[in-house]
Structure 1
Amino acid sequence: MDEKLERKNTQARNKEIEQYLKEERKAYEKYLKEPKLLILGSSDCGKSTLLKQMKILHGNGFSELEKKAARDNIRTNLINALTQMLKSIPLQSADKTNYLSFSEDWPTPDNVIPKDIVDMVKRLWEIPEVKASCKELKLPETTPFFFNAVERLSEAEYIPTDEDILNLRTVTQCVSETIFNINGSNFHFFDVSGLRHHRKAWFSYFEHVTTVLFVASISSYDQNLVEDPTVNRMVDSLVLFEQITNHKLMAKPQFVLFFNKKDLYEVKIKQVGIREFFPEYDGTRS
């Protein structure tokens, strides 16, 4: 009797395992058929920001946890950026001394910027030398956006808006997968780091990807790479584009070239000419 019961239980377990494997195989076959988009580009080209926009348009927006993390990053980035600027310029003021003393104890346990520091930041931000140092120190182009909103960002109940999160710049250090359901179909978006020493890891994703979305920042013509200040960012993007499109694993996937940061380009082109960095450029705008 015990042998029959044990045999019956074994058959039941085997049936469960077979059913599980069958479902897993079916799910994997479905996964293989779903579109997989690999987002590539140089560092700070806006790949992660593009993914954030997709999340707003086709996802459920940002969770409370993501908003809290963004809030802390925004405040920390603001403090770090201004500290970096003040340390780099020969500016003598009581505000500068007091602010640098405060920044040494940042972040605070509650990560809230006190009002006296906010007032100090606003005064310092009005100093031309402080603003001018943004570009020299290669700070993110959205840095002025947050300095101009420092009072709002310091409020105890501050919750980042979608615009705040889109303007937040963080360095992608690992691979992330985000799935969007668009018109009933799952689209897998893979975001990878654009830093030079991380690019070798890209090739492991080439084999199964259906589409490569190459993001190029058109406002980067006057900027150099953070990891190699001798290399122009747009030159790096052009070289990288050529390398990827000529790669042997790129014959199968579709290829989409996405020009990014048009808004920043339209502001910059009125102040900084392309020919200053690309003398061979023969366009009508200098």
Structure 2
Amino acid sequence: MSRHLLSKSHDSAWPPPPPAHESDSEKQIRLEDERKARIVSESIDRSIELEKSEKQKHRAQIKILVLGQSESGKSTILKNFHLYFHPQAFQSDLSAWRAVIRFNLIRSVNCILDLLDNKGSRPSSTDSASKAISDHLRRLALRLAPLRHVENLLLRRHSASGPVSGDEGNSFPTRGGASIDSPLYTGWKALSKFKRSSESNVFGVDDVDDSQRVIEACKDDIVSLWANESIQATLKTRSIALEEQSGFFLPDAGRVAAHDYMPTTNDILRARLPTSGVEEHRIVINEGSGHGKDWLFYDVGGAGGQRAVWAPFVDDVKVVIFLAPICAFDQPLDDDPRTNRLTAVFDSWKSVCGNQLLSEVHFILLLNKCDILDKKLKSGVPFAKYVSSYRDANDTRSVTKYLDRKFEHIHKTISPSPRKLYTHITCAINAKTTATVIKRIQEGALLHNLLTAGYL
């Protein structure tokens, strides 16, 4: 048998070899038959591809709108959905996440360095002990100064659409005061730039590698800076709550800045990649009642100027997931310091619940960041001081029960038509407990109703 007949190549297997002793007229007939057969074959191939494409376009979907303030945990919840249905979702992007997490780390460091540049943040006493502390911090600041250049370099290299300002940038939360802002790239699209820059020289990989080496070289000084009692006292005096910021890794600096560091799942959940505008995330569900279906999430930026952006995306949306950062009861809005963040959350909730465009949409409410709420209440921060209608004990169970009832009451009284509200108390950076919530969302009454109605 001829060698080319055994080939799997389409071109070598077709057409077949001509018969022996073929006449010119027979050859012309054969070639014409082969031409027609090839046209038919190619037409069939095109039809198959078109049918596959149409099936993909019309496969069953559930569209979900994810709403909430900046720093409410929207992107973290979406990471949890990715990890729940595709546990290896971030494995191919570990080097990019490492760069993001280290960037989060140096933003926190540079925030502290900015405070040290302010004369009021340094010890005012002239005694020898205070002078020694001041000199030590001055030396630390000098050794950490290259991190400012590293931050600026990474911002230039990885800004997805130019730096973002305001509360969609890095906004370090304060209690009862203004935030300390730093511009930042936006959304997971920026992650792809971190990834590409680690794979090619297009985005200056040499500079990026040098930046990573600088961070590694500064590891011990970063650890020393965060452990410094004078720094801790300054942060407390100025009511700057760095630990409440997503992307906060200072306690883990020794691990994150180590040469062999690779992010854990928990690190990735805590990493900060703010969203500006609307980002679309498609997740294929490969288990349970939604097997083989697409969940299409619209993640909406939470800054004041972004809150109306979701309106064009309500067509065919079946579910709204609203995240309320319940730990923010003692913080002002970054873009309006006169307004309490929790009050603003209630106002947003009223607006969403009463929207006629969402009258047929089912709602899922996530009372998020319960871990930070618990720490605040246990540290003695009085909930009733900021929420005048609250009369119960200053503990997590009582406060969450009050908030649950209040959100439920707003939903019931303002919704255009009766509907069920599904409420969960969450800590989005805890993958295990959030997985339980996701499972309830997937298998609970809401998605069951959507399935029986033909939406899934």
Same topology, TM > 0.5: yes
1:120 aligned partner: 221
Deviations 1:92-138 (A, max 9, x none): 33334314422233256321355662222222212234235277446
Q: What is the rounded CA distance, in whole Å, between the counterparts of 1:143 and 1:63 in structure 2? A: 18
1:55 aligned partner: 82
Gaps spanning 5+ residues in structure 1: where? none
- 2:113 aligned with 1:86, yes or no? yes
Give the Å deviation of 1:281: 1.5
1:284 aligned partner: 393
2:14 aligned partner: none
Secondary structure of the 1:238 match is: helix
Alignment of 1:154-173 (within 5 A): 154-173=257-276
Structure 1 pair 137–180 and aligned structure 2 pair: CA distance change class (3 A): farther
- 2:208 aligned with 1:179, yes or no? no
User: Does the 8 A contact of 2:69 with 2:324 survive in 1?
Assistant: yes
User: Does the 8 A contact of 1:99 with 1:120 survive in 2?
Assistant: yes
Secondary structure of the 1:215 match is: strand
> For residue 109 of structure 1, what is the amino acid of its counterpart?
V
- 2:297 aligned with 1:194, yes or no? no
Deviations 1:51-85 (A, max 9, x none): 11222222133434432222112112211212112
Structure 1 pair 144–176 and aligned structure 2 pair: CA distance change class (3 A): closer
User: Does the 8 A contact of 1:219 with 1:265 survive in 2?
Assistant: yes
Structure 1 pair 223–245 and aligned structure 2 pair: CA distance change class (3 A): same
Give the Å deviation of 1:20: 5.2
Secondary structure of the 2:327 match is: coil
Segment of structure 1 superposing worse, 78-87 or 111-120: 111-120
Q: What is the rounded CA distance, in whole Å, between the counterparts of 1:164 and 1:52 in structure 2? A: 11
User: Does the 8 A contact of 2:72 with 2:323 survive in 1?
Assistant: yes
Segment of structure 1 superposing worse, 244-253 or 62-71: 62-71
The structure with more radius of gyration: 2
1:72 aligned partner: 99
1:153 aligned partner: 256
Q: Which residue, 209, 212, 228 being the options, matches 2:336? A: 228
2:57 aligned partner: 28
Gaps spanning 5+ residues in structure 2: where? 1-28, 123-133, 152-206, 396-456
Structure 1 pair 103–86 and aligned structure 2 pair: CA distance change class (3 A): same
Number of residues of Structure 1 aligned to a counterpart in Structure 2: 284
Q: What is the rounded CA distance, in whole Å, between the counterparts of 2:247 and 2:56 in structure 1? A: 47
- 2:347 aligned with 1:239, yes or no? yes
Structure 1 pair 274–231 and aligned structure 2 pair: CA distance change class (3 A): same
- 2:153 aligned with 1:106, yes or no? no
User: Does the 8 A contact of 2:72 with 2:324 survive in 1?
Assistant: yes
> For residue 223 of structure 2, what is the amino acid of its counterpart?
K
Higher relative contact order (CA 8 A, sep 6+): 1
Secondary structure of the 2:282 match is: strand
Secondary structure of the 1:197 match is: helix
> For residue 266 of structure 2, what is the amino acid of its counterpart?
E
User: Does the 8 A contact of 1:210 with 1:253 survive in 2?
Assistant: yes
Give the Å deviation of 1:14: 7.1
The percentage of aligned residue pairs carrying the same residue is: 24
TM-score (norm 1): 0.84
2:372 aligned partner: 264
Secondary structure of the 1:240 match is: helix
> For residue 142 of structure 2, what is the amino acid of its counterpart?
N
1:273 aligned partner: 382
Structure 1 pair 94–240 and aligned structure 2 pair: CA distance change class (3 A): same
Q: What is the rounded CA distance, in whole Å, between the counterparts of 2:114 and 2:272 in structure 1? A: 21
Q: What is the rounded CA distance, in whole Å, between the counterparts of 1:201 and 1:94 in structure 2? A: 45
Q: What is the rounded CA distance, in whole Å, between the counterparts of 2:247 and 2:303 in structure 1? A: 24
Q: Which residue, 240, 244, 262 being the options, matches 1:141? A: 244
Structure 1 pair 26–53 and aligned structure 2 pair: CA distance change class (3 A): closer
> For residue 283 of structure 1, what is the amino acid of its counterpart?
D
2:65 aligned partner: 38
Structure 1 pair 24–12 and aligned structure 2 pair: CA distance change class (3 A): same
TM-score (norm 2): 0.55
